Amino acid sequence: MPTVLVIEDDDRIRLSLALALEDEGYTVHEASTAEEGLINQRKDPADTVLVDLMLPGIDGFECIRELRRTGEVPIVVISARSDTHDIVAALEAGADDYVVKPVAVKELSARLRALRRRARAAAPAVPTLIFGDLEIRPEAGEVTVHGRPVALTRTEFRLLCELADHAGRVLSRQQLLERVWDYGAGDERLVDVHVGRLRQKIEDNPASPEHLVTVRGLGYKLQR
Amino acid sequence: MPTVLVIEDDDRIRLSLALALEDEGYTVHEASTAEEGLINQRKDPADTVLVDLMLPGIDGFECIRELRRTGEVPIVVISARSDTHDIVAALEAGADDYVVKPVAVKELSARLRALRRRARAAAPAVPTLIFGDLEIRPEAGEVTVHGRPVALTRTEFRLLCELADHAGRVLSRQQLLERVWDYGAGDERLVDVHVGRLRQKIEDNPASPEHLVTVRGLGYKLQR
DNA sequence: CGAAAATATGACGAATCAATGACAGATCAC
DNA sequence: GTGATCTGTCATTGATTCGTCATATTTTCG
* Share in percent of chain A as helix, strand, coil (round to 5): 45, 20, 35
Q: Which chain A residues touch B208 with a CB distance below 8 Å?
A: none
Q: Inter-chain contact B122–A126, Cβ cutoff 8 Å?
A: no
At residue A27, does pLDDT exceed 90?
A: yes
| CA B119/CA B125 separation, integer angstroms | 11
At residue B123, does pLDDT exceed 80?
A: no
Contacts of B36 (CB under 8 A, 6+ apart): B7
| pLDDT in the model for residue A185 | 66
Q: How many Å does it take to go from CA B165 to C1' D2?
A: 39
Q: Which chain A residues touch B224 with a CB distance below 8 Å?
A: 123
Tens digits of per-residue pLDDT, A158-174? 999 999 999 999 999 99
Beta strands A27-31 and A3-7, pairing class:
parallel
| pLDDT in the model for residue A123 | 65
| pLDDT in the model for residue B70 | 84
Bridge partners (DSSP) of residue A215 are A219
| CA A16/CA A23 separation, integer angstroms | 11
Of A216, A218, A138, which is closest to residue A174 (Cα–Cα)?
A218
Tens digits of per-residue pLDDT, A88-140? 999 999 999 999 988 899 999 999 999 988 877 666 667 889 999 999 999 99
Strand order in A142-145's β-sheet?
A129-131, A134-137, A142-145, A148-150
> Quick one: B150 exposed, middle or buried, by C-beta within 10 A (0-12, 13-18, 19+)?
middle
Taking the whole predicted model, whether its pTM rises above 0.85 is answered as: no
Nucleotide with minimal C1' distance from the CA of B185 is: D8
| CA B83/CA A161 separation, integer angstroms | 48
Instruction: Count the Cβ atoms, other than its own, within 10 Å of residue B44.
Output: 10
Tens digits of per-residue pLDDT, B22-56? 999 999 999 999 999 999 999 999 989 999 999 99
| pLDDT in the model for residue B138 | 86
The size of chain A, in residues, is 224
Tens digits of per-residue pLDDT, A130-143? 999 999 999 999 99
Q: Identify the DSSP state of B208.
A: S
Biggest CA pair distance of chain A: 75
| pLDDT in the model for residue A158 | 95
Percent of chain B with pLDDT over 90: 72
Q: How many Å does it take to go from CA A121 to C1' D7?
A: 39
Q: Does B110 touch chain A (CB under 8 A)?
A: yes
3-state secondary structure of B16: helix
Q: Inter-chain contact B113–A121, Cβ cutoff 8 Å?
A: no
Q: Inter-chain contact A72–B121, Cβ cutoff 8 Å?
A: yes
At residue A77, does pLDDT exceed 90?
A: yes
| pLDDT in the model for residue B40 | 92
Of A9, A18, A12, which is closest to residue A53 (Cα–Cα)?
A9
Tens digits of per-residue pLDDT, A202-215? 999 988 899 999 99
At residue B125, does pLDDT exceed 60?
A: no
| pLDDT in the model for residue B140 | 84
Q: pLDDT-derived band of residue B1, with 50, 70 and 90 as boundaries?
A: confident
Q: Does B125 touch chain A (CB under 8 A)?
A: no
Instruction: Count the Cβ atoms, other than its own, within 10 Å of residue B61.
Output: 20
| Average pLDDT value over all residues in chain B | 91
| Average pLDDT value over all residues in chain A | 91
List bases, strand C, within 7 Å of protein CB.
6-11, 17-22
Q: pLDDT-derived band of residue B126, with 50, 70 and 90 as boundaries?
A: low
Q: Which residue would you say has higher pLDDT here, A44 or A190? A: A190
Instruction: Count the Cβ atoms, other than its own, within 10 Å of residue B43.
Output: 8
Cis-peptide, bond into residue B102, ω within 30° of zero: yes
Q: Inter-chain contact A154–B218, Cβ cutoff 8 Å?
A: yes
Let me know the angle formed at the C-alpha of B80 by B78 and B82, rounded to the nearest 5 degrees: 95
Region A176-201: mean pLDDT is 88
CB hemisphere CA count around A103 (13 angstroms): 31
Phi/psi at A144 (5° precision): -125, 145
At residue B121, does pLDDT exceed 70?
A: no
Q: Secondary structure of B25-91 in the HEC alphabet?
A: CCEEEEECCHHHHHHHHHHCCCCCEEEECCCCCCCHHHHHHHHHHHCCCCEEEEECCCCHHHHHHHH
Q: Does B217 touch chain A (CB under 8 A)?
A: yes
Q: Which residues of A110-127 are buried (b: 16+ CB within 10 A; e: fewer)?
A: bbbbbbeebbeeeeeebe
Contacts of A168 (CB under 8 A, 6+ apart): A221, A222, A223, A224
Which helix (H) or strand (E) element contains residue A222? strand A219-222
Tens digits of per-residue pLDDT, B14-31? 999 999 999 999 999 999
| pLDDT in the model for residue A124 | 67
Nucleotide with minimal C1' distance from the CA of A159 is: D18
